[in-house]
Protein backbone atom coordinates (compact mmCIF):
# COMPACT_ATOMS: atom_id res chain seq x y z
CA UNK A 1 0.00 0.00 0.00
CA UNK A 2 1.07 3.56 -0.59
CA UNK A 3 -0.48 6.70 0.70
CA UNK A 4 -0.39 10.18 -0.75
CA UNK A 5 -1.15 13.24 1.39
CA UNK A 6 -3.03 16.19 -0.14
CA UNK A 7 -3.15 19.15 2.27
CA UNK A 8 -5.32 22.24 1.79
CA UNK A 9 -5.59 25.63 3.44
CA UNK A 10 -9.24 25.18 4.29
CA UNK A 11 -12.28 22.97 3.81
CA UNK A 12 -13.60 24.86 0.76
CA UNK A 13 -10.35 24.46 -1.14
CA UNK A 14 -10.33 20.76 -0.23
CA UNK A 15 -13.96 20.28 -1.28
CA UNK A 16 -13.33 21.87 -4.70
CA UNK A 17 -10.16 19.86 -5.39
CA UNK A 18 -11.62 16.57 -4.19
CA UNK A 19 -14.82 17.08 -6.21
CA UNK A 20 -12.73 17.78 -9.33
CA UNK A 21 -10.61 14.63 -8.84
CA UNK A 22 -13.64 12.43 -8.16
CA UNK A 23 -15.59 13.88 -11.12
CA UNK A 24 -12.62 13.20 -13.44
CA UNK A 25 -12.45 9.59 -12.27
CA UNK A 26 -16.20 9.07 -12.75
CA UNK A 27 -16.07 10.63 -16.22
CA UNK A 28 -13.15 8.38 -17.19
CA UNK A 29 -15.03 5.29 -15.98
CA UNK A 30 -18.09 6.31 -18.01
CA UNK A 31 -15.91 6.83 -21.10
CA UNK A 32 -14.27 3.40 -20.57
CA UNK A 33 -17.20 1.16 -19.72
CA UNK A 34 -20.38 3.22 -19.98
CA UNK A 35 -21.09 3.42 -16.23
CA UNK A 36 -19.43 4.53 -13.01
CA UNK A 37 -19.88 3.76 -9.31
CA UNK A 38 -19.03 5.65 -6.15
CA UNK A 39 -19.44 4.82 -2.45
CA UNK A 40 -19.33 7.77 -0.07
CA UNK A 41 -19.18 8.22 3.70
CA UNK A 42 -21.59 9.94 6.02
CA UNK A 43 -20.86 11.94 9.14
CA UNK A 44 -20.26 15.66 9.39
CA UNK A 45 -17.14 15.99 7.20
CA UNK A 46 -18.32 15.46 3.60
CA UNK A 47 -21.07 18.12 3.22
CA UNK A 48 -19.04 20.75 1.33
CA UNK A 49 -17.45 18.09 -0.87
CA UNK A 50 -20.91 16.66 -1.69
CA UNK A 51 -22.20 20.10 -2.66
CA UNK A 52 -19.19 20.74 -4.91
CA UNK A 53 -19.49 17.31 -6.55
CA UNK A 54 -23.25 17.63 -7.15
CA UNK A 55 -22.71 20.27 -9.84
CA UNK A 56 -19.93 18.43 -11.69
CA UNK A 57 -20.73 18.30 -15.42
CA UNK A 58 -20.70 14.51 -15.85
CA UNK A 59 -23.31 12.11 -17.18
CA UNK A 60 -24.91 11.44 -13.80
CA UNK A 61 -27.55 9.11 -15.28
CA UNK A 62 -24.75 6.60 -15.73
CA UNK A 63 -23.48 6.88 -12.16
CA UNK A 64 -24.46 4.61 -9.26
CA UNK A 65 -24.04 6.21 -5.84
CA UNK A 66 -24.10 4.32 -2.58
CA UNK A 67 -22.76 4.63 0.98
CA UNK A 68 -19.75 2.89 2.49
CA UNK A 69 -21.79 2.56 5.69
CA UNK A 70 -25.11 3.45 7.25
CA UNK A 71 -26.96 3.45 10.54
CA UNK A 72 -29.93 1.07 10.74
CA UNK A 73 -32.34 4.00 10.82
CA UNK A 74 -34.96 5.13 8.27
CA UNK A 75 -34.12 7.76 5.68
CA UNK A 76 -35.94 10.55 7.54
CA UNK A 77 -33.84 10.14 10.71
CA UNK A 78 -31.44 13.03 11.35
CA UNK A 79 -28.80 10.28 11.92
CA UNK A 80 -29.29 8.78 8.44
CA UNK A 81 -26.35 8.95 6.04
CA UNK A 82 -28.88 8.51 3.21
CA UNK A 83 -30.57 11.76 4.31
CA UNK A 84 -27.21 13.54 4.26
CA UNK A 85 -26.44 12.34 0.74
CA UNK A 86 -29.93 13.14 -0.52
CA UNK A 87 -29.80 16.69 0.85
CA UNK A 88 -26.23 17.50 -0.16
CA UNK A 89 -25.13 15.34 -3.09
CA UNK A 90 -28.18 14.13 -5.04
CA UNK A 91 -29.05 17.67 -6.14
CA UNK A 92 -28.97 19.52 -9.49
CA UNK A 93 -27.16 17.44 -12.14
CA UNK A 94 -26.34 14.69 -9.60
CA UNK A 95 -30.05 14.11 -8.89
CA UNK A 96 -30.00 11.97 -12.06
CA UNK A 97 -27.70 9.40 -10.43
CA UNK A 98 -29.01 6.01 -9.31
CA UNK A 99 -28.79 5.80 -5.52
CA UNK A 100 -28.64 2.46 -3.68
CA UNK A 101 -29.53 2.92 0.01
CA UNK A 102 -28.04 0.54 2.56
CA UNK A 103 -30.94 0.88 5.00
CA UNK A 104 -33.89 -1.38 4.13
CA UNK A 105 -37.27 -1.30 5.83
CA UNK A 106 -37.05 -4.85 7.19
CA UNK A 107 -37.13 -6.45 10.62
CA UNK A 108 -33.41 -6.68 11.31
CA UNK A 109 -30.07 -5.34 10.19
CA UNK A 110 -28.78 -8.75 9.02
CA UNK A 111 -31.67 -9.07 6.60
CA UNK A 112 -31.00 -5.56 5.27
CA UNK A 113 -27.33 -6.46 4.72
CA UNK A 114 -28.29 -9.49 2.60
CA UNK A 115 -30.73 -7.50 0.47
CA UNK A 116 -28.20 -4.76 -0.30
CA UNK A 117 -25.38 -7.20 -0.99
CA UNK A 118 -27.50 -8.79 -3.71
CA UNK A 119 -28.39 -5.39 -5.21
CA UNK A 120 -24.89 -3.98 -5.28
CA UNK A 121 -22.51 -6.77 -6.13
CA UNK A 122 -23.80 -7.46 -9.61
CA UNK A 123 -23.65 -3.90 -10.90
CA UNK A 124 -21.27 -1.70 -9.00
CA UNK A 125 -18.21 -3.60 -7.75
CA UNK A 126 -15.34 -2.93 -7.70
CA UNK A 127 -16.18 0.72 -7.07
CA UNK A 128 -14.59 3.31 -9.33
CA UNK A 129 -14.40 5.69 -6.37
CA UNK A 130 -14.56 5.14 -2.60
CA UNK A 131 -14.47 8.11 -0.23
CA UNK A 132 -13.82 7.06 3.35
CA UNK A 133 -14.02 9.17 6.47
CA UNK A 134 -12.52 8.47 9.88
CA UNK A 135 -13.79 8.93 13.43
CA UNK A 136 -11.57 10.10 16.27
CA UNK A 137 -11.76 6.54 17.65
CA UNK A 138 -9.98 5.28 14.51
CA UNK A 139 -13.06 3.79 12.85
CA UNK A 140 -13.66 4.04 9.15
CA UNK A 141 -16.80 2.93 7.29
CA UNK A 142 -18.52 1.09 10.21
CA UNK A 143 -15.36 -0.80 11.18
CA UNK A 144 -15.61 0.16 14.86
CA UNK A 145 -13.16 -0.79 17.61
CA UNK A 146 -14.92 -3.53 19.59
CA UNK A 147 -17.40 -4.22 16.74
CA UNK A 148 -18.99 -7.68 17.00
CA UNK A 149 -18.19 -8.57 13.37
CA UNK A 150 -15.01 -6.50 13.02
CA UNK A 151 -12.63 -9.41 12.37
CA UNK A 152 -14.86 -10.77 9.60
CA UNK A 153 -15.48 -7.32 8.09
CA UNK A 154 -11.72 -6.66 7.87
CA UNK A 155 -10.77 -10.10 6.55
CA UNK A 156 -9.74 -9.78 2.90
CA UNK A 157 -11.24 -13.26 2.34
CA UNK A 158 -14.71 -12.15 3.43
CA UNK A 159 -16.59 -11.64 0.16
CA UNK A 160 -17.44 -8.18 -1.10
CA UNK A 161 -20.81 -7.02 0.17
CA UNK A 162 -22.55 -5.44 3.13
CA UNK A 163 -22.45 -6.73 6.72
CA UNK A 164 -24.19 -5.86 9.97
CA UNK A 165 -22.06 -4.39 12.78
CA UNK A 166 -22.86 -3.63 16.43
CA UNK A 167 -20.42 -1.71 18.59
CA UNK A 168 -20.67 0.32 21.75
CA UNK A 169 -19.21 3.42 20.11
CA UNK A 170 -21.51 3.18 17.08
CA UNK A 171 -24.84 4.12 18.62
CA UNK A 172 -27.32 2.32 16.38
CA UNK A 173 -26.75 -1.01 14.63
CA UNK A 174 -24.76 -0.42 11.45
CA UNK A 175 -24.52 -1.62 7.89
CA UNK A 176 -21.07 -1.53 6.35
CA UNK A 177 -19.37 -2.62 3.17
CA UNK A 178 -16.65 -5.15 3.95
CA UNK A 179 -12.97 -4.27 3.61
CA UNK A 180 -12.70 -6.42 0.47
CA UNK A 181 -15.42 -4.28 -1.18
CA UNK A 182 -13.58 -1.02 -0.59
CA UNK A 183 -9.83 -1.66 -0.65
CA UNK A 184 -9.52 -2.06 -4.42
CA UNK A 185 -11.43 1.03 -5.58
CA UNK A 186 -10.19 2.70 -8.76
CA UNK A 187 -9.71 5.83 -6.66
CA UNK A 188 -9.49 5.36 -2.90
CA UNK A 189 -9.80 8.52 -0.81
CA UNK A 190 -9.56 9.13 2.93
CA UNK A 191 -11.15 12.52 3.66
CA UNK A 192 -10.43 13.98 7.11
CA UNK A 193 -10.49 17.49 8.50
CA UNK A 194 -9.14 19.13 11.65
CA UNK A 195 -5.99 18.91 13.76
CA UNK A 196 -7.46 16.23 16.01
CA UNK A 197 -8.02 13.88 13.08
CA UNK A 198 -4.48 14.52 11.80
CA UNK A 199 -3.23 13.38 15.20
CA UNK A 200 -5.46 10.28 15.07
CA UNK A 201 -4.12 9.55 11.57
CA UNK A 202 -0.51 9.89 12.75
CA UNK A 203 -1.20 7.55 15.65
CA UNK A 204 -2.77 5.05 13.25
CA UNK A 205 0.26 5.22 10.95
CA UNK A 206 2.60 4.52 13.87
CA UNK A 207 1.00 1.26 15.02
CA UNK A 208 -0.43 -1.92 13.62
CA UNK A 209 -3.21 -3.16 15.92
CA UNK A 210 -6.32 -3.06 13.70
CA UNK A 211 -8.66 -3.96 16.55
CA UNK A 212 -7.59 -0.77 18.34
CA UNK A 213 -7.81 1.44 15.21
CA UNK A 214 -9.56 -0.27 12.29
CA UNK A 215 -8.47 2.51 9.88
CA UNK A 216 -5.08 0.75 10.00
CA UNK A 217 -6.47 -2.01 7.78
CA UNK A 218 -6.98 0.54 5.00
CA UNK A 219 -3.68 2.32 5.61
CA UNK A 220 -1.60 -0.84 5.65
CA UNK A 221 -3.40 -3.39 3.47
CA UNK A 222 -5.50 -1.65 0.80
CA UNK A 223 -4.34 -2.75 -2.63
CA UNK A 224 -5.16 0.69 -4.08
CA UNK A 225 -3.09 3.72 -3.08
CA UNK A 226 -4.81 5.72 -0.32
CA UNK A 227 -5.19 9.40 -1.21
CA UNK A 228 -5.52 11.33 2.04
CA UNK A 229 -7.31 14.68 1.72
CA UNK A 230 -6.87 16.90 4.76
CA UNK A 231 -7.66 20.51 5.74
CA UNK A 232 -7.41 22.15 9.17
O1 LIG B 1 -20.14 7.16 11.92
C2 LIG B 1 -19.61 7.69 10.97
O3 LIG B 1 -18.53 8.49 11.20
C4 LIG B 1 -17.48 8.60 10.25
C5 LIG B 1 -16.77 9.90 10.56
O6 LIG B 1 -17.73 10.93 10.68
P7 LIG B 1 -17.38 12.46 10.96
O8 LIG B 1 -18.67 13.03 11.50
O9 LIG B 1 -16.30 12.50 12.00
O10 LIG B 1 -16.98 13.06 9.67
C11 LIG B 1 -17.99 8.50 8.82
O12 LIG B 1 -16.91 8.37 7.95
C13 LIG B 1 -18.95 7.32 8.68
O14 LIG B 1 -19.43 7.20 7.36
C15 LIG B 1 -20.11 7.55 9.59
O16 LIG B 1 -21.08 6.53 9.47
Residue 214, domain member (yes or no): yes
Contact 193, 12 (CB under 8 A): no
Instruction: Inform me whether the pLDDT recorded for 205 exceeds 80.
Output: yes
> Side-chain half-sphere of 210: how many Cα atoms within 13 Å?
16
* Structure confidence at residue 202 (pLDDT): 98
pLDDT, tens only, 80-99: 999 999 999 999 999 999 99
The bridge status of strand 226-231 relative to strand 174-177 is unpaired
Instruction: Inform me whether the pLDDT recorded for 11 exceeds 80.
Output: yes
Instruction: Inform me whether the pLDDT recorded for 139 exceeds 70.
Output: yes
Distances (CA, A) of 14 to 76, 89, 140, 161, 216: 29, 16, 19, 30, 23
Write down the ipTM of this complex: 0.96
Instruction: Inform me whether the pLDDT recorded for 217 exceeds 80.
Output: yes
Centre of ligand 1 to C-alpha 154, Å, is 17
The protein residue whose alpha carbon is closest to atom 3 in ligand 1 is 43
* Pocket residue to mutate for ligand 1, from 40, 43, 89, most atoms within 8 A of Cβ: 43
Q: Residue 78: which domain range?
A: 19-223
Centre of ligand 1 to C-alpha 32, Å, is 32
80-83's contacts with Cβ under 8 Å and 24+ in sequence apart are 80/42, 81/41, 81/42, 81/43
Residue 145, domain member (yes or no): yes
**Whole-number Å distance between alpha carbons of 159 and 180:** 7
Residue 7, domain member (yes or no): no
The protein residue whose alpha carbon is closest to atom 6 in ligand 1 is 43
Higher per-residue pLDDT: 120 or 37: 37
pLDDT band at 1 (very low <50, low <70, confident <90, very high): low
Contacts of 198 (CB under 8 A, 6+ apart): 192, 230
Residue 156, domain member (yes or no): yes
| Total domains in the fold of the chain | 1
Q: Is 81 in the pocket of ligand 1 (CB under 6 A)?
A: yes
pLDDT, tens only, 150-193: 999 999 999 999 999 999 999 999 999 999 999 999 999 999 99
Q: Is 44 in the pocket of ligand 1 (CB under 6 A)?
A: yes
* Structure confidence at residue 188 (pLDDT): 98
Q: Which atom of ligand 1 is the closest one to the Cα of 197?
A: 9
The protein residue whose alpha carbon is closest to atom 16 in ligand 1 is 42
Supply the mean pLDDT for the chain: 97
* pTM as predicted: 0.97
Residue 56, domain member (yes or no): yes
* Structure confidence at residue 222 (pLDDT): 98
| Polymer length of the chain | 232
Alpha helices, DSSP H, located in the chain: 11-33, 47-54, 81-88, 109-124, 150-154, 179-182, 195-206, 215-221
Angle between helices 81-88 and 47-54 (to 10 degrees): 40
* Structure confidence at residue 127 (pLDDT): 97
* Pocket residue to mutate for ligand 1, from 45, 131, 135, 190, most atoms within 8 A of Cβ: 135
Contact 3, 228 (CB under 8 A): yes
The protein residue whose alpha carbon is closest to atom 9 in ligand 1 is 135
Residue 10, domain member (yes or no): no
Q: Is 101 in the pocket of ligand 1 (CB under 6 A)?
A: no
Residue 64, domain member (yes or no): yes
Instruction: Inform me whether the pLDDT recorded for 120 exceeds 90.
Output: no
Residue 231, domain member (yes or no): no
The protein residue whose alpha carbon is closest to atom 12 in ligand 1 is 133
Contact 93, 57 (CB under 8 A): yes
**Whole-number Å distance between alpha carbons of 230 and 223:** 21
Give the domain CATH number at 166: 3.40.50.1360
Amino acid sequence: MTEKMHKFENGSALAAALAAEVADKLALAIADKGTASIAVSGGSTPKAFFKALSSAPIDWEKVTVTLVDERFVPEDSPRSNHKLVKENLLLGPAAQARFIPLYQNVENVGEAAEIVTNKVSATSLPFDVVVLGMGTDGHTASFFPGGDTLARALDINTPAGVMAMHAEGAGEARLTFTFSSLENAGLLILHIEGQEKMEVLNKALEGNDETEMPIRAVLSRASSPVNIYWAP
